[in-house]
Amino acid sequence: MADMNLIAEALKAGRAPKVKTLVQEALNEGVAPEVIVNEALIVGMGVVGERFKNNEIYVPEVLIAARAMNAGLAILEPLMAEKDIQPIGVAAIGTVSGDLHDIGKNLVAMMLKGAGFKIIDLGVDVSPEKFVDAVANQGAQLICMSALLTTTMPVMKDTVEAATAAGIRDKCRIMIGGAPVTQQYADEIGADGYSTDAASAADLAKKLVAELA
């Protein structure tokens, strides 16, 4: 009998091949893909996020767990697409123009994915126009910006202003983060939220997307 806890445990331990095998076995036994996602993968990744937030584990462990999660999702996503299961929200994420740091951005993207969001990953060196376009033309509800350089932080302000100028400011929520970014800066530029780490970013994203409902 398929055990969702076993899958969550394998994910937490970062055992990608084991996750893959257990997910396939669960599917063979008739467990629905969305049950595996919600009761095994998201639960497991949630625990990883909490441990990371509490400094019980570090970036490498999170990346390894995320790889295990992706191994499970790679099997489940096509099946879920067939059934047209809706994500809890759509988030466009990127590191702002002039900034090539992507480790934190990727962690945030993984946590959001783990929380059930569809991710539009715009990559690094992303201009305000590209963020705006993701909302205007690609269905994004959240703009998620990361910056690691003090010199690139102003692009976050430019993006908030570009969203207002494009008339999409009310249709989306904007969240920011990255080592030099602060809540005070978020308030100053009119962003809707800031978080210190990837696990809190997932909580914040859920809260912000709920405001749009």
Binding stretches for ligand B1M (CB under 6 A): 59, 98-105, 107-108, 144-146, 148-151, 175-180, 195, 197-198, 201
Nearer Cβ to ligand B1M, position 78 or 139?
139
Nearer Cβ to ligand B1M, position 57 or 145?
145
Within the chain, residue ranges assigned H as helices are 4-12, 16-28, 33-36, 42-53, 59-83, 103-114, 128-138, 154-165, 183-189, 198-212
Q: In the complex, what is the shortest distance from the CB of residue 171 to ligand B1M, in angstroms, rounded to a whole number?
A: 18
Q: In the complex, what is the shortest distance from the CB of residue 86 to ligand B1M, in angstroms, rounded to a whole number?
A: 22
Q: In the complex, what is the shortest distance from the CB of residue 160 to ligand B1M, in angstroms, rounded to a whole number?
A: 13
Nearer Cβ to ligand B1M, position 39 or 133?
133
Nearer Cβ to ligand B1M, position 48 or 148?
148
Q: How many angstroms separate the CA atoms of 78 and 76, rounded?
A: 6
- Asked whether 119 and 77 are in contact (CB, 8 A), the reply is no
Q: At what angle do helices 198-212 and 42-53 cross, to 10 degrees?
A: 120
